[in-house]
Structure 1
């Protein structure tokens, strides 16, 4: 069931749960995500970053869209952290049903300007738009980029931004970072800021960089109004840690013998995130 982000998250906003956005950059990861979401009857967002899109190429998106059409659960195909207008156009042409324009590194006025430009081309073709205010940190040197300094989203800026751009959901900065946190670093969410923003706006809110944050904080953020949470590092780490173990057997070479254990290790993490976000068995609200 292919949907755009606006329609998918409207239901999550109404019923107070969060939909996971799993970053997918291989058929094996896609297979695990879709199987587990079907198993748990959990709505899902398949997120692909521009760097991932460069790697998997446009033909992969067609496979994702085909899986979405076959699925019994709602599926959104989303461009994650598009930083250039050209990246957004490519995603729309590929059939993505949602795009993110990340102008958080720009001034507020410049962020508004580029976001309005994206909304003007996306909305007429039923593609929803996510934007970001404030900065997400970076916990390691792998995967998505982040900022050395976390700048928290201001409530007044969020209200102004949404009014002027007509976006469908907003990623806010409340203390998360992309990547896996070092063991000596303790992440902490500014849940009071989340409450203030949620009280002031009506559109769904998004949390980026949720890998490694304590489960109790993430669960609280969902109850306080976060409707989409991005997960990338956690599932990939589980997949490839298991892959390293499997490949200790020097004789093994066939993908059908290598990947099933890796997929199952990843699926355990996916199940945990779905339950943590209260996303299981939510398909019933879309019928």
Structure 2
């Protein structure tokens, strides 16, 4: 069933788990993510970034919406890292049930104004809005946009931001980066800061850039108030690493020969995330 993002994350917030938000770039990946979520009875957020939508086209979005309607688990379709209210309108018209306005690279007051404008567009038609405060790092050119230097979310600013904008969830900066961490970089979350932010705001919190972070840290972040975790690089690496291995057999040419092992490899990673976020079995709460 297709539901809005607010309902999805409010249940997660009340029951202390995190919903995985898997970034999808093609139909084969989408099918695998739906399948593993249904197998594990886990709620699902399908996230699509503007760059991903430019690659796939809006036709894929309509197919995902149709698949969501007949899914046995609750599904929200999330517009990830939108930059303008015009993009929000496009996402809403396309059928997204949750949108993000990412004003994190703007000055604080401008971020408030832009996010409030997105809320004013989305809330009247029942669409939830995610904002972002602080900056997420970026590890490589393949990753989504990020900052060269992480600016951590301030708990007092987070409280003021939520009160001024009316956002339904907030992406916070506690030390993550978009992309896959290079070997010389040690990922480390400011879990103490997360605890302070959650105490100050109470609403569902979102973690971006969780790929490669140690499982123990991610699991603890869920216990301390993270209710949505974006997963993009980890599942795409699993999918395409297996594809490179399969394509070593140069006699293969049919997608139905090449893609199934890739989907299976991706599902293993996705299943691990579902368990780590304590989302398995939680579809029954909706």
Q: TM-score range by the shorter chain?
A: over 0.9
Gaps of 5+ in 2: none
Give the aligned partner of residue 188 of structure 2: 188
Give the aligned partner of residue 207 of structure 1: 207
Count, aligned residues: 286
Give the aligned partner of residue 236 of structure 2: 236
- Cα deviation 1:91-110 (Å, max 9, x = unaligned): 01100000000000011100
Moved over 2 A (4+): none
Give the aligned partner of residue 159 of structure 2: 159
Give the aligned partner of residue 135 of structure 1: 135
Looking at structure 2, the residues matched to 111 and 131 of structure 1 have their Cα atoms a distance apart, in angstroms, of 9
Give the aligned partner of residue 83 of structure 1: 83
Q: How does 1:1-287 map to 2 (within 5 A)?
A: 1-286=1-286
How far does residue 69 in structure 1 lie from its aligned partner after superposition? 0.2
Looking at structure 2, the residues matched to 242 and 220 of structure 1 have their Cα atoms a distance apart, in angstroms, of 30
Q: Specify the SS of the correspondent of 1:132.
A: strand
Looking at structure 2, the residues matched to 219 and 182 of structure 1 have their Cα atoms a distance apart, in angstroms, of 22
Looking at structure 1, the residues matched to 48 and 185 of structure 2 have their Cα atoms a distance apart, in angstroms, of 27
How far does residue 183 in structure 1 lie from its aligned partner after superposition? 1.0
Looking at structure 2, the residues matched to 233 and 83 of structure 1 have their Cα atoms a distance apart, in angstroms, of 21
- Superposition TM-score, scaled by structure 1 size: 0.99
Q: Specify the SS of the correspondent of 1:243.
A: helix
How far does residue 87 in structure 1 lie from its aligned partner after superposition? 1.4
Looking at structure 2, the residues matched to 202 and 4 of structure 1 have their Cα atoms a distance apart, in angstroms, of 19
Q: Specify the SS of the correspondent of 1:13.
A: helix
Looking at structure 2, the residues matched to 44 and 123 of structure 1 have their Cα atoms a distance apart, in angstroms, of 21
Looking at structure 1, the residues matched to 254 and 59 of structure 2 have their Cα atoms a distance apart, in angstroms, of 24
Looking at structure 2, the residues matched to 21 and 257 of structure 1 have their Cα atoms a distance apart, in angstroms, of 28
Looking at structure 1, the residues matched to 178 and 108 of structure 2 have their Cα atoms a distance apart, in angstroms, of 22
How far does residue 161 in structure 1 lie from its aligned partner after superposition? 0.4
How far does residue 143 in structure 1 lie from its aligned partner after superposition? 2.8
Looking at structure 2, the residues matched to 38 and 61 of structure 1 have their Cα atoms a distance apart, in angstroms, of 19
Q: What RMSD, in angstroms, separates the aligned Cα atoms of the two structures?
A: 0.6
- Superposition TM-score, scaled by structure 2 size: 0.99
- Cα deviation 1:177-229 (Å, max 9, x = unaligned): 00000011110000000000000112100000000100000000000010000
How far does residue 57 in structure 1 lie from its aligned partner after superposition? 1.0
Looking at structure 2, the residues matched to 63 and 203 of structure 1 have their Cα atoms a distance apart, in angstroms, of 31
Looking at structure 2, the residues matched to 194 and 224 of structure 1 have their Cα atoms a distance apart, in angstroms, of 7
Looking at structure 2, the residues matched to 284 and 35 of structure 1 have their Cα atoms a distance apart, in angstroms, of 16
Q: Specify the SS of the correspondent of 1:80.
A: strand
- Cα deviation 1:51-95 (Å, max 9, x = unaligned): 111111111110010011010101000000001222111101100
